[in-house]
Amino acid sequence: MDIDDHKLIALAREVLPFAYAPYSGYKVGAALLTAEGRVFQGVNVENISYGLTICAERSALTAAVTAGCRLFSALAIASEGEKEPLPCGACLQVLREFGNFRVIVAGKQNKFLTFTLGELLPHPFV
């Protein structure tokens, strides 16, 4: 199946109900598209020790790497919020390790914003 930006956002939204966010109440879903056309989904997983929280983007990335995938073409991130969920600085650095692919973000509205990782983190630690 050909996966366009709309489909990738739909796959990020699909897992929103599985996000574990009892502390912030802010659920995030992610869908990471590999160069071969496979998709790995992830959600944020919070912890009572707040700093141990794993963001949705890193959940999706670790699932993909665990399956042997390291080449990516796009990442969709969805939230139920008004504003589009831009990845945090820590996630940008972790994602950037694996290239300069596209990032599509969508809040609850039917509006997407699209960036490259390089635009969001122009000067990563290397």
Q: Which residues are identified as catalytic?
A: 57
8 Å CB contact between 40 and 15: no
String of contacts with ligand THU for each residue 40-79, x by CB under 6 A:
----x-x------x-xxx-------------------x--
Task: Closer to ligand THU by CB, 3 or 42: give it.
Answer: 42
Residues 97-126 that bind ligand THU (CB under 6 A): none
Distances (CA, A) of 78 to 12, 56, 83, 87: 6, 9, 10, 10
Residues 8-37 that bind ligand THU (CB under 6 A): 21, 24, 26, 28
What angle separates helix 56-66 from helix 89-96, to the nearest 10 degrees? 20
Nearest to 61 by CA among 82, 38, 30, 88: 30
Task: Closer to ligand THU by CB, 26 or 35: give it.
Answer: 26
Instruction: Tell me which H or E stretch contains 121.
Output: none
Residues that bind ligand THU (CB under 6 A): 21, 24, 26, 28, 44, 46, 53, 55-57, 77, 85, 87-88, 91
